[in-house]
Amino acid sequence: MDPYTLGGMIFSLIMVLIVGGFIVSFPIMRRLGALMEESIRERRAGRLEHTQLAQLQGQIDALTRTLESTERQLELLGERQDFTESLVDSVSRRALPRKDGEEPGAG
């Protein structure tokens, strides 16, 4: 066989294989790329959901601390109010005149 003829046949065969391989593999690669992109989106969405959950948990923790602090302050305020009321009651009892005619505060 003539080497130029053999070279031309090999070149033609290689070109047919390259073009045919591209025609066959392009839709497969395109679909594979779409699947990979979808997988990446799902991972990012999962990370975002995890991040959002972490942020919400942080906000819930902050609200819980705020409520506990407010509860402590209300308890202290209630104790102070009770003390003030008892003090006012005791002072007002001393200021009232007694039935036996004694001066207020002489007891």
pLDDT digits 0-9 by tens, 36-61: 999 888 888 777 777 888 888 889 99
The encoded tokens of residue 26 equal 């392009």
State the Cα–Cα distance between residues 60 and 63, nearest whole angstrom. Answer: 5
Task: Say what the pLDDT of residue 107 is.
Answer: 47
Mean pLDDT of the chain: 85
State the Cα–Cα distance between residues 100 and 78, nearest whole angstrom. Answer: 36
Residue 97 has pLDDT above 70, yes or no: no
* Ranges of H-type helices in the chain: 3-95
pTM as predicted: 0.44
Of the two residues 76 and 97, the one the predictor is more confident about is 76
The dihedral sign for the CA sequence 76, 82, 83, 84? positive
Enter the DSSP assignment of 97.
Answer: P
